[in-house]
């Protein structure tokens, strides 16, 4: 990986984290799992969570946990992190929703768990404005779930930034999935909409396996390829597609189409996955805070210059799924394989 690229995006992540941690107050941690029970009660009652109406639950301090962090067992509520941090010991889930509906999780900072936020068999929930960082496997994991909204989340420094498995009709918009091994991953997941997301500086920006009819447009894929085994998807909205930082490496003689901001040649991932209207410049994501957006797109400009000059870019894709081989051959991931065992999926 280009050292300048790595350093630039590391600085961006640190700046993002510093803007978050400046809001965090330090209080004594709980240690054990906190439950929001189906009857609205909080267990243990001394946990750093407050509710006045059994509808809105607000963190009142930082939380650490030696297993799961917060388990939600009640529907139709709001869990507001209020800028506080939930920290684990590289096991369990930071926040867990199983068989839940109409739950909003927002403004949470979750780090150092196995999975940051886990949705399972859940529908019509909203994950918004959360910072899910440096977790052992997945930042945000959605399994066997439908009609959920993931919007404006910052999932960085995880194995997977955002992971969907056997999930349908979900909407992912305005999320930042940078500096993960895989930015956004879909397995056996179809009919989802992915728009306005950023996936930068990973081994794969988007990874699709047996996932079809997903609507993918207005996303930024910077310094990472797409993988699309056994998948057929839609990569533009009929007039505008996605931004690909390696576009000019593949098409150095491309030109703009009638001042539209779109290149005149499609971006071909494979014969079943073609972005017919690739964007010339990164898509501006409205959900990003203005200061962070400015820093981010300054770095994107720097990355674009570096990538265009870089030689020997790999443009072909293996016929077999490369993930296991890529992980096994990557020194920093061998320990991860031994500890977590990939076959859980």
Question: Which pLDDT does position 214 carry in this prediction?
Answer: 98
Question: Which pLDDT does position 287 carry in this prediction?
Answer: 56
Of the candidates 90, 91, 93, 95, the residue with the CA atom closest to the CA atom of residue 70:
95
List, for residues 54-109, the tens digit of each pLDDT value: 999 999 999 999 999 999 999 999 999 999 999 999 999 999 999 999 999 999 99
Question: Which pLDDT does position 312 carry in this prediction?
Answer: 44
List, for residues 37-48, the tens digit of each pLDDT value: 999 999 999 999
Q: Tell me, rounded to whole angstroms, the distance of Cα 340 from its chain centroid.
A: 20
Q: At a CB cut-off of 8 Å and minimum separation 6, what does 30 contact? A: 44, 46, 47, 48, 63, 64, 65
Question: Which pLDDT does position 28 carry in this prediction?
Answer: 40
* Residues of the chain below pLDDT 70: 1-30, 287-345
Question: Which pLDDT does position 308 carry in this prediction?
Answer: 41
Contact indicator for 81, 109 with CB cutoff of 8 Å:
yes
How many independent structural domains does the chain possess? 1
**10 Å Cβ neighbour count for 168?**
18
pTM exceeding 0.75: yes
Question: Which pLDDT does position 285 carry in this prediction?
Answer: 82
Question: Which pLDDT does position 19 carry in this prediction?
Answer: 42
Range of the domain at 167: 3-344
Question: Which pLDDT does position 247 carry in this prediction?
Answer: 97
Question: Which pLDDT does position 255 carry in this prediction?
Answer: 97
Burial of 272 (0-12, 13-18, 19+ CB in 10 A): exposed
């Amino acid at each position: 990986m280009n050292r300048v690229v790595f350093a630039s995006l590391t600085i961006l992540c640190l700046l993002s984290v510093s803007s978050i941690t400046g809001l965090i107050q330090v209080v004594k941690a709980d240690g054990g799992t906190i439950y929001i029970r189906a009857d609205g009660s909080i267990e243990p009652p001394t946990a750093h969570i407050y509710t006045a109406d059994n509808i809105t639950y607000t963190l009142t301090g930082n939380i650490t946990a030696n297993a799961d962090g917060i388990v939600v067992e009640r529907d139709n509520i709001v869990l507001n992190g209020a800028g506080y941090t939930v920290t684990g010991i590289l096991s369990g889930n930071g926040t867990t929703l199983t068989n839940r509906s109409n739950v909003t999780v927002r403004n949470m900072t979750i780090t150092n768990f196995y999975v940051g936020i886990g949705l399972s068999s859940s529908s019509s929930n909203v994950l918004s404005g959360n910072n899910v960082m440096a977790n052992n496997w997945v930042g945000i994991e959605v399994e066997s779930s439908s009609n959920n909204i993931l919007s404006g989340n910052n999932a960085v420094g995880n194995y997977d930034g955002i992971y969907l498995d056997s999930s349908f009709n979900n909407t992912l918009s305005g999320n930042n999935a940078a500096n993960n091994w895989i930015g956004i991953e879909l397995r056996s997941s179809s009919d989802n909409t992915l728009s306005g997301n950023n996936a930068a500086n990973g081994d794969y920006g988007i990874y699709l396996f047996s996932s079809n009819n997903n609507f993918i447009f207005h996303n930024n894929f910077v310094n990472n390829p797409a993988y699309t085994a056994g998948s057929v998807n839609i990569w533009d909205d009929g007039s505008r597609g996605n931004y690909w930082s390696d576009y000019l490496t593949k098409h150095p003689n491309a030109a703009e189409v009638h001042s539209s901001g779109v290149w005149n040649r499609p971006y071909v991932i494979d014969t079943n996955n073609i972005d017919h209207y690739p964007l010339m410049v990164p898509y501006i994501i409205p959900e990003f805070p203005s200061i962070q957006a400015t820093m981010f797109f300054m770095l994107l400009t720097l990355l674009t210059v570096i990538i265009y000059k870089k030689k020997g870019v790999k443009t072909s894709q293996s016929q077999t799924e490369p993930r296991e081989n890529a992980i096994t051959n990557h020194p920093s991931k061998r320990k991860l394989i031994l500890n977590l065992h990939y076959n859980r999926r």
